Amino acid sequence: MKKKVTAIVAAAILVILAIGGVVLFMLLNQPDRKSVSYNGQLRVDGNRIVNQHNEEVQLTGISTHGIQWYGDLYNETSIAELKNEFGINVFRIAMYVNPDDGGYIANRGLKDKVVELVEAAIKLDMYAIIDWHILNDNNPQTYEAEALEFFGEMSEKYGETPNVIYEICNEPNGSDVSWGGNIRPYAEKLVAKIREHAEKAIVIVGTPNWSKAIEQVDPSPLDDKNVAYALHFYAGSENVTLRDEMDHFRSKNLALFVSECGSTDASGQGDLHEDNFKVWIDYLNKNKISWVFWAFSNKDEASSIVTKKYKPGVADDETGLENYLTENGRLLKRTLVPPED
């Protein structure tokens, strides 16, 4: 009788161990739901962005500053540090265009840096936004021919790569630059060029008035349904009125992508507006609107997230990036990785 009981107990222990092993295996092999491996090719579905499983997705990430100025900061090591420390799943590569800024028109070698950083993001299982960063050039049509050539090449290279998102005009601006007169005609040509090679990729289209005047888009959005429209905000400059406009825009079944935002005013300087920034992020998270923070740089301004001492790879296992974060960097980390109670 004792042997029989012992055998039963032993069998029960083996069953428990087997079940525990299966549970442990499942826990250890849970997919990272932020990753490209899990989400795959994203697409726009009405006013939402969804993944390959038709689940709504919100990307959260960080933008470089101009890669012509701060390129030494940006490589696979630093992107990996940001991913590990901040939990981001998208990295925006800001390639300025204007030759007066040392941008692409004067420095075609910047394309090689874009490719390097896209490849790093792919290796790290993240999304990458290739940002044609117009600013001082105001009108996207100014360098339209160069944009067509650039995005033709990029989309041919990455057309079958689900990691890549194309942002074709950062912040159109100026009283003489309108959606119907300038941005829409430009966007039609650029989207058509990208679609020659990247039929499924999301394209982010800038909007007038530094990507704020989304109301101009509403009467005549692009025919392509797989585009999202850029909305930029800075917590020290924008208020609830812009969020009301976003609600109205999305009610028209159009998608927004906050491809640039910050806790400072629009200049990147001044105080941090933490309370208003939190209101904004709560709004974006509630509505699952993707957002990217400005900026990963060590420039001497309030919007930078790292100090001058930061160099890629200097962080160690004990401190991570903690010793190199600015006040703005710490704010961003608290936002993305809330501290435990």
pLDDT tens for each residue of the chain, 341 residues long: 555 556 665 565 665 655 555 444 443 456 799 999 999 999 999 999 999 999 999 999 999 999 999 999 999 999 999 999 999 999 999 999 999 999 999 999 999 999 999 999 999 999 999 999 999 999 999 999 999 999 999 999 999 999 999 999 999 999 999 999 999 999 999 999 999 999 999 999 999 999 999 999 999 999 999 999 999 999 999 888 999 999 999 999 999 999 999 999 999 999 999 999 999 999 999 999 999 999 999 999 999 999 999 989 876 655 678 899 999 999 999 999 998 75
Kindly state the tokens that stand for 193.
Answer: 């060029």
d(CA 190, CA 148): 6
85, 167, 171, 238: the active-site residue: 171
**In contact, 63 and 296? CB cutoff 8 Å:** yes
Cα–Cα distances (Å) from 16 to 5, 9, 23, 26, 65, in that order, read 16, 10, 10, 15, 54
Domain 36-336 falls in which CATH fold?
TIM Barrel (3.20.20)
Q: Given this model, what pLDDT does residue 314 score? A: 77
Q: Given this model, what pLDDT does residue 7 score? A: 61
Catalytic (active site) residue 215: no
Name every residue whose Cβ is closer than 8 Å to that of residue 1 and which is 6 or more positions away in sequence.
none
**In contact, 132 and 198? CB cutoff 8 Å:** no
Report cis status (omega within 30 of 0) of the bond before 295: yes
Which helix (H) or strand (E) segment is 193 a member of?
Answer: helix 184-195
* Count, residues in the chain: 341
Residue 218: what residue type?
D
d(CA 332, CA 62): 9
76, 260, 327, 340: the active-site residue: 260
Which helix (H) or strand (E) segment is 278 a member of?
Answer: helix 274-286
Residue 126: what residue type?
M
Q: What angle do CA 319, 322, 325 make, to 5 degrees?
A: 155
Q: Given this model, what pLDDT does residue 23 score? A: 40
pTM of the model: 0.92
d(CA 231, CA 212): 5
* 3-class DSSP state of 195: helix
Q: Closest by alpha carbon to 71, among 36, 138, 120, 126?
A: 120
Catalytic (active site) residue 153: no
